[in-house]
């Protein structure tokens, strides 16, 4: 009877992202722990140097020839990293504003459900808009001024 060999799992190997891989292979570790290429935004699941090296040498040959390991590559990678951070901050802002719109729609729906009347009845529409606008403009600096314009 053959014994069953236990398979290795990469989570058990305690692999950690090394900071020098950012400059060498143009990779960063995102918030989910996945390795992300700064050049093509591809994500790698396994935190291994060989995987990063294979990706970099096969897909980004022009980058490695244009920016050999020196200060030029370091500056290029820093620029890529800044653009990555900027795009993710824009996305996070968009997600927050989208969230505010969703909350505002729920507030308006709750107001309609409380009254039990159709939305075409004009007497309570103003209160619906006021309650929804409090959520829509939550992150605005001039929220109080906007709400005063009732």
Q: Is 143 found in the same domain as 107?
A: yes
Q: Is 20 found in the same domain as 77?
A: yes
The boundaries of the domain holding residue 97 are 91-150
Q: Is 65 found in the same domain as 22?
A: yes
Model confidence, pTM = 0.50
pLDDT digits (tens, 9 = 90+) for 39-88: 888 888 888 888 888 998 899 888 888 888 788 888 888 888 888 777 76
Q: Which of 37, 56, 84 is the last residue before a domain boundary?
A: 84
pLDDT digits (tens, 9 = 90+) for 85-103: 777 666 566 556 567 777 7
Q: Is 110 found in the same domain as 75?
A: no
Within a domain: residue 19? Answer: yes
Please give, one letter per residue, the 3-state secondary structure of the chain. CCCCCCCCCHHHHCCCCCCHHHHHHCEEECCCCCEEECCCCCEECCCCHHHHHHHHHHHCHHHHHHCCCCHHHHHHHHHHHHHHHHHHHHHHHHHHHHHHHHHHHHHHHHHHHHHCCCCCCCCCHHHHHHHHHHHHCCCCCCHHHHHHCC
Q: Is 106 found in the same domain as 67?
A: no
The tally of domains found in the chain comes to: 2
């Amino acid at each position: 009877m053959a014994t069953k060999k236990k398979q290795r799992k990469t989570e058990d190997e305690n692999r950690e992202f090394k900071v020098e891989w950012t400059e060498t292979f143009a990779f960063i570790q995102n918030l989910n722990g996945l390795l992300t290429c700064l050049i093509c935004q591809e994500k790698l699941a396994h935190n291994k140097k060989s995987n990063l090296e294979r990706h970099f040498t096969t897909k980004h040959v022009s980058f490695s020839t244009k920016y050999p390991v020196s200060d030029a590559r370091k500056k290029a990678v820093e620029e890529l990293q800044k653009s990555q951070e900027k795009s993710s901050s824009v996305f996070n802002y968009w997600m927050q504003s989208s969230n505010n719109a969703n909350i505002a729609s729920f507030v308006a729906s709750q107001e309609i459900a409380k009254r039990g009347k159709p939305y075409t009845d004009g007497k309570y529409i103003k209160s619906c808009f006021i309650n929804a606008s409090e959520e829509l403009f939550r992150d605005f600096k001039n929220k109080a001024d906007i709400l005063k314009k009732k």
